[in-house]
Structure 1
Amino acid sequence: MNIYEKLQAIRCELQGQTLKKSGKNEFVKYAYFELSDFIPAVNLLMKTHKITSTIQYDKDIAKLTLINCEKPEETLIFTSPMADGGLKACSPVQNLGASITYLRRYLWINALEIIEADSLDASTKKEEGEHFIPDDRTNLDIGKIVCSDCSQPILTKEGAEDTKVINFSKSKYGKPICWNCQQKKK
């Protein structure tokens, strides 16, 4: 099998497993996948299908490379822009560690098409004027809501989900758009 067939087989086999979100943020009431929720299963599937991986980080880009062990010249690359972890009261090294952990998780979720409920569209919503107000059942994952134009997470300077920008852009444009992309539309 070529690397595309192997990746698709891994995706399908992983989809057939029950993955549970063990990460919880009690403050904004959402659950999320931690790496430990899916990496053990992924490693076994990759071993079975003879694929290995590397992750590289540079100043601007994080890169997950999947390699066909039977034909090492066959690779698939998934990338993400680098971003600061945005943790308060932490050292630069702790913020770097947070960034690496988040990016690893998002790279794997993207590469393996691990499905999570769409945090805006699949949630129960109430409209009040022009503001989207999630109820207690909304499953928000910080950094999951990304700009429809540039695909960057819509976050505050502190690294929290920027609900004001999300709500405003959803009411004005019908979709989440980050502040920078909204400025370009003017």
Structure 2
Amino acid sequence: MKQLIAALAKAKLEFQPLKMSGFNKFNSYHYATLADIIASTNEALSKNGLVPVFTVNEEKLILTLWHESGEFLESFTTLVVDKNDKKLAYPQAWGLVLTYSKKYLLAALLGVAAEDDDDGVAATAIKKSESSSPLPSSSFLSKEQIAKLMAVAPLDANGDVPNKLKNAITGKCGLSIKINSLAEIPPDKFETILDWLPTFRLE
């Protein structure tokens, strides 16, 4: 997964400023829409051989970030609609949950900070979502930092980060949602994880 991570780190440096075209009239704040996030990131991703693909499997939304090398990162969330919500018809509620979940997954996987990213409408239709991606962060690791982590991390036979290590890093960082790659480690935890990685044993 080294090529994908390197390409993603480079793409992040080329993301355009994120616009906040959405507006919550009830709480009076602006937020980034799914279209805003796509507009901010799409060109840089494409330039670096990356493409995000959404698929729906029953009630699970899956986001796969593909690299031209064939490597990929995958994140998912369960689509849960409150059928007892009287404010919205079921098809409308489903559509809002789907759009909101796409925005959440894309922002989380790419490390894009959407500021006040919850528009408050779709959230009323969601009981609870679980995702394999960390929450969006306002900053991200540099390519050099990721390279340092990769150099000391105990990888599997394919050169990927094993699930056991991902789980351990998630706990070490105090995150409530599992990370998918070293690139998703919070910047303020970089030194801690860099010092700790050589001591980790897969056995």
TM-score, normalization: structure 2? Answer: 0.52
**Corresponding position of 2:101:** 103
Distance 1:45 1:85 in 2: 36
Structure 2: distance between partners of 1:66 and 1:60: 20
% same residue: 25
Q: Hey, which of these two has a bigger chunk of helix by percent?
A: 2
5 Å-filtered alignment, 1:122-161, equals 141-142=118-119
Residue 3 of structure 2 aligns with an amino acid whose one-letter code is: N
> For 2:126 and 2:73, how far apart are their aligned partners in 1?
30
In structure 2, C-alpha distance between the alignment counterparts of 1:94 and 1:85, rounded to whole Å: 11
Once the two structures are TM-superposed, the CA of residue 48 in structure 1 deviates from its matched residue by 0.5
Show the 5 A alignment for 1:61-72: 61-69=60-68, 71-72=69-70
Higher relative CO (Cα under 8 Å, sequence separation at least 6) belongs to 2
What is aligned with 1:91? 89
Q: Distance in 1 between matches of 2:7 and 2:59?
A: 29
Q: Determine the C-alpha separation between the residues in 2 that align with 1:88 and 1:46.
A: 40
Deviation at 1:116, TM superposition (A): 4.1
Identify the match of residue 81 of structure 1 among 73, 78, 94. Answer: 78
Equivalent residues of 2:37, 2:103 under 8 A apart: no
Counterpart in the other structure of 1:45: 44
CA distance in 2, matches of 1:39, 1:90: 27
> Partner residue of 2:110?
112
Say whether the 8 Å CA contact 2:21–2:36 is kept in structure 1.
yes
Q: What is the number of residues matched between the two proteins?
A: 124
Distance in structure 2 (CA, Å) of the matches to 1:56 and 1:43: 18
Quick check: 1:85–1:99 contact (8 Å CA) kept in 2? no
Distance verdict in 2 for CA 1:140–1:106, change over 3 Å: closer
Q: What amino acid is aligned across from residue 118 of structure 2 in structure 1?
A: D
Change (3 A) 1:85 1:104: farther
Partners of 2:39 and 2:109 in 1: CA distance: 16
Measure, in 1, the Cα distance between the counterparts of 2:22 and 2:46. 26
CA contact (8 A) 1:83 1:99 kept: yes
SS at match of 1:2: helix
Q: How far apart in 2 are the matches of 1:6 and 1:24?
A: 33
**Structure 1: runs of 5 or more not aligned:** 118-138, 144-152, 161-186
Structure 1 position 61, deviation (Å) = 2.5
